[in-house]
Chain A
Amino acid sequence: MSRAETGTGTEALSGADILVKSLVDHDVEVIFAYPGGASMPLHQALTRYSDKLRTILPRHEQGGAFAAQGYSRSTGKPGVVMATSGPGATNLVTAIADAKLDSVPMIVITGQVPTAVIGSDAFQETPIVEVCRGITKHHYLVTDVTDLPRVMKEAFHIATTGRPGPVLVDMPKDIQLSNLTIDWDPEMDLPGYHVETRFARPEQIKQVAAAIRLAKRPVIYAGGGIIASEASDALRTLVKKTGIPVTMTVMGLGTYPGDDALSLDMLGMHGSVYANYAVRDCDLLIALGVRFDDRVTGKVEAFAKNAKIVHIDIDPSELNKNKEAHIPVVSDVKFALDELNKIVEPPEDFEPWLQQVSTWKTDFPYRYDVGYDGILQQHAIQELSRLTQDRETYVSVGVGQHQMWAAQFFKFNRPRTWLSSSGLGTMGFGLPAAMGVQAAHPDALVIDIDGDGSFQMNVQELATCFCEKLPVKVLLLNNQHLGMVVQWEDRFMGSNRAHTYLGPIEHEEASGIGDRSPHAFVNERYPDFVAIAKGYGCGAATIAKKGDLEGALLEMIQHDGPYVLDVQVPYQEHVLPMIPTGMTADDMILE
């Protein structure tokens, strides 16, 4: 945690200046901020620090908050977003809940009506702290400017330490305007916040090492905690030393190279067959920075049923929450892995297991119909992955089929290069998140792989991409439907279309029994995404032919500025494999 540059110095400043200066002192480089009545003094202060802190104006507060997440997820530093009171603040709520579930460090600053009128139902007043209690790691309503330097220091400390998460600072307008001669480096007042105690004990590390030594069928189950604690290298060392195969959660993709032989790719509902079989049959499950989410476990009693479970996580409340661990370890996962790597030895005898896992991997790869003469979503993603492997590439996604296919078919080899709203599953995440990544990594290739449903939830951010010179690329897998819901309709509800068609309602897909013929395709397209993108000043093209794909992808990648590639894909294509909700690896749907 950086200390205020001015150290012990004191000077008189307004609350708004104190807040903005504290952002600068905490090494914040970019803030996504949308102004309004109750946050104008803060914005005025932002102009006074514009040489040190870039302010990006999103076109919707939610876009700003997801951009802050994009910044944070791709750098590990806290993302910062600001909005005004009332509707400005409530527009942040979804992104705050999202950051909480995915443990993303974020500082959320909201304007608030003046303290004198709080509670009077004033214009644009919302009790945002009340609204956000359950979805923040911590929250403050600043009612005395004297508290502000301490609050900001605590906010950064809490957001970034232990299990990271969003911290809300609600700033009434009169506090923004009042002046104070301040101490820049006050003591924090956090008697109940103990991050310093979260380190594995030597005897626990020995226990884990012993369990590994004795295991016959071990698997590592790696999650977002590995990324949060910057433990990817430690994980790779562990695998190198032991030869144990690794499967990753959606949040964990990138922690272990996707193209390595010991990578079992993703596990869970839409995970690989080999990962789910390996977990089903393992005798030791090494769970690292994960939370046994229901989308991973399916029927939790049957998950890793015959395995001894090692669970290492920094959040004590995750241990034994969904699944009881035999060796629960409360620890920063990087610390635990570094310690483990000092003493760990490979399992004595697990060659047959490695053979078995490798056979599964050969027999049940992720598949799609390569003979189809149009463009399938999986094919488009695989091609994009191939064409971008040799450069610094970041991929964000919306939520739905395209998200799962991106998780399956794009090969991620580095942490923080894959951004997905994984816990909350927020449609509309992709474009603004990509925008935040681009702000943090101006020279990198940043691609939002999106669906036509998700894309339209924050399509207005194309304006931000254009105006703020953030050359984000959008690979739009446009099937004219809410594909994942259609897939469930097809699988479980007799294909009865219930508000899952995104074109005009007179179309036959808009209601009744949907067309289930293979690769069913909508010819008449709505809306005209090329016209929309061009209207925002972005480059754009639309394609439907397989032969056009590679050229179009290269044109997108090489385009100078933001670009939307609208790829017309069929809607009769399901994400497979699939373990239906609450079922087990043995119930996996493969066809």
Chain B
Amino acid sequence: MRHVLSAIVQNVPGVLAHISGMLASRGYNIDSLAVGETDDPQLSRMTFVVVGDNRVLEQVRKQLEKIVTVVRVVDVSSQDYVERDLMLMKVKSQTGPERAEIRELVDIFRGSIVDVSADDLMIEISGRENKIEAFIERMRPYGIIELVRTGRIAMVRGGGLDGHRETES
């Protein structure tokens, strides 16, 4: 089973090392890890994709919560959520019909070409994991020079913070 967890962490030095070290030393299988600051500069948000059964998920969540600098952990995939992965890809493409084909595919996948040079194109694309992977397969025949992905980020739909509207007092 694939689960998406989101952790709000204190934005202090070493927190990423601490979390990735804990996950590694306990032998959890982490598919993807993305991290970035939130609207509050004191806090960062990490998104994990964890592979394992419910028991593994429960342990990962509890072990994360035990780290003092982890403020909150949400099991995003237990709710209705939006998931995105951002990719930059450089593909071989000389001027000519091939380039037009690539442009057409980029349009179909709702990506954009962000850099053009004589022999290659750089493409930006975002979406769910399976869309990104489908696009990679379509591009393979043209010759992928390099690609980089942010890793999965996710957010629960509607309902306020983490899907729970804050109670008004």
Contact = CB atoms under 8 A, between A and B. Distances in A.
Contact of A137 (B14, B58, B68): B68
B76 interface: no
A193 interface: yes
Contact of B59 (A138, A190, A321): A321
A191 B9 CA distance: 9
A315 interface: yes
Contacts of A189: 10
A192 B21 contact: no
A292 to B, nearest CB: 13
A130 B14 CA distance: 8
A137 B72 CA distance: 17
Contacts of B10: 189, 191-192
A129 B13 CA distance: 11
A130 B21 CA distance: 10
A320 interface: yes
Contact of A134 (B21, B59, B68): B21
Contacts of B18: 133
B140 interface: no
A420 B13 CA distance: 35
A158 interface: yes
Interface string B58-88: 1100110111111110000000000000000
A129 B14 contact: yes
B21 A133 contact: yes
Interface in B36-74: 55, 58-59, 62-63, 65-72
Nearest to A193: B68
Contacts of B65: 192, 316-317
B22 interface: yes
Contacts of A141: 13-14
Interface residues of B, number: 22
B25 interface: yes
B70 A192 contact: yes
Given A316-B62, A317-B59, A320-B55, A133 B14 contact: yes
Contacts of A193: 68
Interface centre among A141, A191, A315, A321 (most CB of B within 10 A): A191
A320 B58 contact: yes
B149 to A, nearest CB: 27
A192 B14 contact: no
B26 to A, nearest CB: 9
A309 B60 CA distance: 22
Given A134-B25, A316-B62, A320-B55, A192 B17 contact: no
Given A191-B71, A192-B69, A134 B22 contact: yes
Contacts of A192: 9-10, 65, 67-72
Contacts of B25: 134
Contacts of B72: 192
Contacts of A158: 68
Interface string A171-214: 00000000000000000011111000000000000000000000
A56 B58 CA distance: 44
A138 B68 contact: yes
Nearest to A158: B68
Nearest to B69: A192
A316 B70 CA distance: 15
Given A192-B70, A317-B63, 13 more contacts: A133-B14, A133-B22, A134-B21, A138-B68, A158-B68, A189-B10, A191-B10, A191-B71, A192-B68, A316-B66, A319-B62, A320-B59, A324-B55
30 contacts: A129-B14, A133-B14, A133-B17, A133-B21, A133-B22, A134-B21, A134-B22, A137-B68, A141-B14, A158-B68, A189-B10, A190-B68, A191-B10, A191-B71, A192-B9, A192-B68, A192-B69, A192-B72, A315-B66, A316-B62, A316-B65, A317-B59, A317-B62, A317-B63, A317-B65, A317-B66, A319-B62, A320-B59, A321-B59, A324-B55
A-B interface, 8 closest residue pairs, ranked by CB to CB distance from nearest: A317-B62, A192-B71, A138-B68, A191-B71, A192-B70, A316-B62, A133-B18, A193-B68
